[in-house]
Amino acid sequence: MKPQDELPEVSAPLPWQAQDWSHLNQQLAAGKLPHALLLVGNQYTGKTRLAMALSRLLLCHQSANGLNCGHCHACQLSASGSHGDFRWLQPEEKSRVIKIDQVRSVVEFTNKTASLGQRKVVVLAPADSMNVNAANALLKSLEEPAADTYLLLVCHRLHSLPATIRSRCQIQKLAVPDAQQCLAWLDQATLDRGRSEQLLALADGRPLLAQQLFAEDAADALTRLRLALRGLLTGQVSVPEAGALFAAASVEEFLAHLAAEIQGLLRRSRGPQLSSRQGRAAFVLLDEILRLQRAVSAGANPNRQLMVDALLTKFERELGDGQLGDNIQVLKGGIQA
């Protein structure tokens, strides 16, 4: 979700965000909404949608029922992405990082008077894609925000953000999406509860990913990738075979698939399994993947082939033939669908 995307008249939060949304509204009504707000939550759960809904609410001149009105001049401008008091900062095309020049121009923007005479809003998403220099350039704005200016930072890896940034923001950890609400929401697209359940399981409970899999008809391809990883653990698939299946995936996608598979294994494991040698190895490998993800999002460019081979080999050797997790029925159901 970006300002340049086509926006509806009213930007509402998603069903599972109702509690977070009402908390933000209460803060706003009480004049206590922090000027530097850090929204943290899992990927594909709608954090940027929430940030967009809050931005448009802050800019709206006639907000009603806790949402932007959709009709005032400010809402028309924010819907078309041309509101002069609104900036949305994200990595520029082909870049993985928010650069210092982008942050400097936003700092300059926050120091000017609002052109429509109300509030100014800046969204940084994902905030952890700022490099160190960019983060440093932002510190002063976070510390001494200009009047009626709101900085909304969005990220899913809180500890990838420098402590200097974290400590200057009020952190709101967004609720984990409720499965029943996710399913009801997915049903609107799939018109099939069984299909919604398969998609949500395949997406590890992340509703926007499930929706994307449905929209792109990509569930079967993803199921094959995830089954290949499971095949590695049971000796049915070799490392080169699994690597070949990931040939079309970017480094980020590969890391995300592998991390999701390990997280799924851990989630389905019981207490004693988690503290077993394999359980501990799973956490160690997950840490390594998270470090790589951070390095890649900060601009590192590892040798893809070497990295894929090394990680798949470790995954097979450390977690293979093990007792971690015990539930692959949903995936099997997914591939038959």
Residues that bind Zn ion (CB under 5 A): 60, 68-69, 72, 75
Contact by Cβ (8 Å): 21, 11: no
- How near is the Cβ of 18 to Zn ion at its closest, in Å? 21
Output 52 or 259, the one with its CB closest to Zn ion.
52
Query: Considering Cα of 255, then 93, then 124, then 172, what sign does the dihedral take?
Result: negative
Least distance (Å) between residue 80 CB and Zn ion: 13
Torsion of CA 304, 215, 172, 87, to 10 degrees: 80
Residue with tokens 């390594």: 288
To Zn ion, the closest distance from the beta carbon of 54 in angstroms equals 13
Comparing CB distances to Zn ion, the nearer of 70 and 243 is: 70
Tell me whether residue 148 or residue 178 sits nearer to Zn ion (CB atom). Answer: 148
In this structure, are residues 92 and 31 in contact, taking their beta carbons and an 8 Å threshold? Answer: no
- In the complex, the smallest distance separating the C-beta of residue 112 from Zn ion, rounded to whole angstroms, is 22
Strand partners, 98: 130
Of 72 and 146, nearer to Zn ion (C-beta) is: 72
Taking the least distance from each CB to Zn ion, the nearer of 75 and 311 is 75
As measured in angstroms, the least distance from the Cβ of 90 to Zn ion is: 24
CB of 92 to Zn ion, least distance (A): 29
Least separation in angstroms between residue 68's CB and Zn ion is 5
Instruction: Give the residue with the Cβ less far from Zn ion, 1 or 10.
Output: 10
Q: Which two tokens stand for residue 105?
A: 């121009």
For Zn ion, give the closer residue by CB, 150 or 254. 150
